[in-house]
Every structure is written in C-alpha cells, then in structure tokens.
Amino acid sequence: MIQTSSTELQCGRFHLSLGQDDRPLIMGVLNVTPDSFSDGGLFDAHDRAIAHAKQMITDGADIIDIGGESTRPGAPAITTEEELRRVLPVLDALRDCGKPLSVDTRHAAVMREVLAAGADMINDISGFRDPDSLAAVSDSQCALCIMHMQGDPQSMQLSPHYDDVLAEVRDYLLDRIDAAMTIGIGRERICIDPGYGFGKTVEHNLTLLSHQSVLQRSLALPLLAGLSRKSTIGVVTGRSVEQRLAGSRAAAVVAAERGARIIRVHDVAESVDALKVWQAARTGALIHHW
C-alpha cells in the first residue's frame, strides 16, 4: 500500500499544485471528433476547435484535453493516421496558449507523435495496458492519467460485472501504477481516474462516487473525475445529454468533496462557478483568482 500522497503533478512544461488545500483544477474537454457522445461534430472543424479552446481558457479552464477518437460505448475504432490528422493541428495551434495540453488517446503511436509536438499530458482510458504505451511516454516529462476501464469502448457497456467494484478498480489502478513506476516513471507524473462510465453500470458508478475518497486515499495520488454529461447523470435526473448541465455540476461538486483534484468537464464556466462556491464554503474565504 502506498503511504505518501503526491500534492504536485509534473505535467510536461508545467507543475500543477494538487494538494487538498488547493482548489480543484478544471480540465476542459475539446473533442475534435464527429461522433463523441455529447458534442460530436461541434468542434471537428479546426477554427471552431481553436475558438472553443480559447473560450474555455477565458472561462477558467486549467487544462485542455484534446480527443481525436470517440470512446463512447460502441464507438468504432479509427486509424492512427486519422486520429493524428484531427489532433496535431489543434495541438500545434494551442501550443502557446499558456495552459497544459492533454491528449486523450490509447494508442502508443499517437502518444509518441503528440509528445513530440508538445503535449503535456497523456490521458489514456485503457490505463497504459499496452506495454508500448508506457515505453512511448517513459522518457518524456509528460503527466500520465491512468484510468480504469473494463473491456473496450466497443464492448464495455454490454454486461459489466464486478464482485467488488471499489476493490477491483483500486487493484487495477495499483497494478498500472506499479507497471509505470517499474520502468522509471516517477509518482510525481501520475494521476488516476476511476473511469466513470467505462465498463460500469449506473450502480457501479454511484458506488465509486460514494466511496471515491476511500479510493483516492488508498492510492495516494491526485484523482481526476470525469462525470460531465454521462449517462449516469441522465438516469439519475431523467434528462437527455443536452439537459444534463445541472446534474453535471452537482456531480463535479460531489467529486471535489470526495477528493478529486482535477474535474474533467464540457461546460467550463458553469463548473468554475459551482466549484468557486464550494471552495469558498469549504475554506470560509473568497477566491479572488481562479
């Protein structure tokens, strides 16, 4: 069991403070795909993608997460060439935006190319299970977001099953952390993600969220939570994807309360406002600089 907790994340060109006394950081989602579950096709044109990223930064995003492959349940795989065609021009255009740039990819060949182009974080939904993926990131200074997923996007929601979802997610993440550290990747470069919605039923997701602080303490690494607009919010509220703003903001606050240090969201301005109120109530002081 890990005994010490990381409070700073080495993230490429940046050092991010992620201690319990720091405010949570906001990761803004930039899907440059035609088929993502909630915003597919909205930002797959280059100019719209750049404009949206700049607006998210103005609204208070601390990290921009660029995704070139949809990982919604049942999404078809695409070629490496197509993923790079979507991601690299956006990465190049945002290189000097002043914020860390994350790339959401599970493919080692893509990781190598985007790191060479200046990406600061690799956000891998498959938890760097492919040994080539760990090799691709090992010699850089990028951050790794190691996520839990049962199965793959094509099959993960067909019949997810756990005997003990909290223990199994914890053990999986421990295994992947150990694999990264074995090849020399420092703990200061790693954050973890329970993988809400990836190979999990609504009940699994709610159990993980309810016990998220236990998971974070047992792993003692910064935790990233991505619940924005997901189907669990829809089931709980009865709302369609485009009507899940309020539910997503409530989930962001609950995730922060239960130890998440990075909150991945689609709606940055609203998420910042919600977390400002939560942080002010938590500390008894106004936040003058987000």
Q: Which two tokens stand for residue 161?
A: 């099953």
Active site residue 200: no
The HSE-up count of residue 171 (CA atoms within 13 Å, CB side) is: 8
- Within a 13 Å sphere around the CA of 85, how many CA atoms are in the beta-carbon half? 8
Beta strands in 115-213 (DSSP E): 121-124, 143-147, 190-193
Distances (CA, A) of 253 to 63, 225, 248, 256, 276: 18, 11, 9, 5, 10
Name the nearest CA neighbour of 176 among 220, 130, 214: 130
Q: Which of 230, 244, 249, 258 is catalytic?
A: 230
Backbone angles phi, psi at 194, to 5 degrees: -65, -15
Exposure b/e, 76-92, CB count within 10 A at least 16 = b: eebebeebbebbbebbe
CA distance 69 to 79: 9
264 is catalytic: yes
The alpha carbon of 102 is separated from its chain's Cα centroid by a whole number of angstroms, namely: 9
Catalytically annotated residues: 230, 264
